[in-house]
Amino acid sequence: MTKTAQLIIDGKTYELPIIEGSENDRAIDIKKLRSETGYITLDPGYKSTGSTKSAITFLNGEEGILRYRGYPIEQLAEKSSFVEVAYLLIYGELPTPAQFKTFSDDLTYHSMIHEGMRHLYDGFPWGSHPMAMLSSMVCSLSAYYPDSLDPDTNVDTHITRVLSKVRTIAAFGHQKSRGKPIMYPKNNLGYCDNFLHMMFAVPAEDYEIDPKIVKALNTLLILHADHEQNCSASAVRLVGSSNANLYASISAGISALWGPLHGGANQAVIEMLERIKAGGSDYKGFMERVKKKEERLMGFGHRVYKNYDPRAKILKEMADDLLPHLGVSDPLLDIAKELEEIALSDSYFVDRKLYPNVDFYSGMVYKALGIPVNMFTVMFALGRMPGWIAQWKEMMEDPKKAIGRPRQVYTGEKERQFVPLNKR
């Protein structure tokens, strides 16, 4: 028998169905609430509101669990590759060897961008933020592939295109912003190797790719690949719910990710650590200011995790391993660890369940890899691409898909009469 919740308004009882997920998530189904009661719910920031059912990612913030399609993030980070995880997220299962080969080959085949797009970079002013370029360029793919506007289009081709081209777009933007020649993709390289080649190679020299860096990049992108209904995934779904094409929807996700409270936090963490270092490394004084709410400890806290973010744990270990391998000794890592130690024992942070999130250590690793700070959020976006695609695809394939259109509680003026300009 379906469980129900009872809601009593003005003495009248309404039965609301209870929905249970496969991991015991429970929700009260309020689809008919307004039509039956005249009331809506109010939940700014959606702290208690589920926007969809989804079979992609399971996240238990209290226990610090993250799984893609049922597979623990720790296993995927250790044993899988980004391309394999992308397939898993988008198509629901790990690929067979034949499926993997086709998918990888398709990603290789679609890596070039239209030459016309190359000239778009020339229009951006010097010093443009790479996230501004990324979101514009990804949206402009819909102009170069206008069949994407047709809802009956071959979606799989557009999926492969955006997943492949986004790395070329990101790397070209980086090279352009530094006045360096653009490096075209090479078909003999894997997904991450190819990105590193486009980012760091120069035509005059051979470029050798360190396999340990390739492995680290794969892991970083896997850790970013999806995180259920976060701000950017919700933006992708909301935009896509109006039947906007895949490229436009993903571009909205990139814009949402840019904010410092979301994916922009990895850049903000490094900037915060640099500030602390420049001020004489007074991390204790900084933490006192955080507690007085004069500062925010970037890279800490999460809407969903009320425990250590499992991604941060993997990244911290990666930083400890990779930095010595690269011969990097970064004083910012020491400051970060001091901040973490204080936070894990100070009641301000403990009581509020504030733990390091994915962005606390990812910036440190990106910095060691030679990625400039203003590219950090671009890296997050590259990783999140399969998640956005999977969320968009799941929504588009839902026979009950509806345009996203929240209600509001209006608090403005009641009706009043227009006063002409000369009488005001």
The catalytic residues are 302, 359
Which one among 108, 218, 357, 362 touches ligand CMC, defined by CB under 6 A?
A: 357
Q: What's the Rg (C-alpha) of the chain?
A: 23
383 touching ligand CMC, by CB under 6 A: no
Of 226, 340, 359, 394, the residue at the interface with ligand CMC (CB under 6 A) is: 359
Question: Beta-carbon neighbour count of residue 271 at 10 Å?
Answer: 14
Residue number, 167 or 262, with CB nearest to ligand CMC:
262
380: nearest Cα among 281, 297, 291, 299: 299
x-or-dash pattern for ligand CMC, window 268-297, by CB under 6 A?
----------------------x-----xx
Does residue 265 interact with ligand CMC by CB under 6 A?
yes
Matching residue, tokens 């044993």: 79
Please say which residue, 130 or 301, places its beta carbon nearer to ligand CMC.
301
Select the span of 125-133, 176-184, 261-269, 277-285 touching ligand CMC (CB under 6 A).
261-269
Residue 174 · residue 166 · CB < 8 Å: no
Q: Is 301 in the site for ligand CMC (CB under 6 A)?
A: yes
Q: Is 364 in the site for ligand CMC (CB under 6 A)?
A: no
- Whether 424 contacts 269, CB under 8 Å: no
Q: Which residues contact 152 (CB under 8 A, 6 or more apart)?
A: none
Would you give the distance in Å from CA 254 to the centre of its chain?
A: 8
- Binding map of ligand CMC across residues 54-93, x = CB under 6 A, - = no contact: ----------------------------------------
Q: Which residue is nearest to ligand CMC (CB)?
A: 301
Which DSSP state fits 215? H
Torsion sign (Cα): 408, 296, 269, 278: positive
Alpha helices in 114-190 (DSSP H): 115-120, 130-144, 155-177
Strand partners, 68: 57, 71
Name which of 57 and 177 has its Cβ closer to ligand CMC. Answer: 57
Assess 300 for contact with ligand CMC (CB under 6 A). yes
Contact between 302 and ligand CMC by CB under 6 A: the answer reads: yes
| Positions that interact with ligand CMC (CB under 6 A) | 227, 230, 261-263, 265, 290, 296-303, 352, 354, 357-359
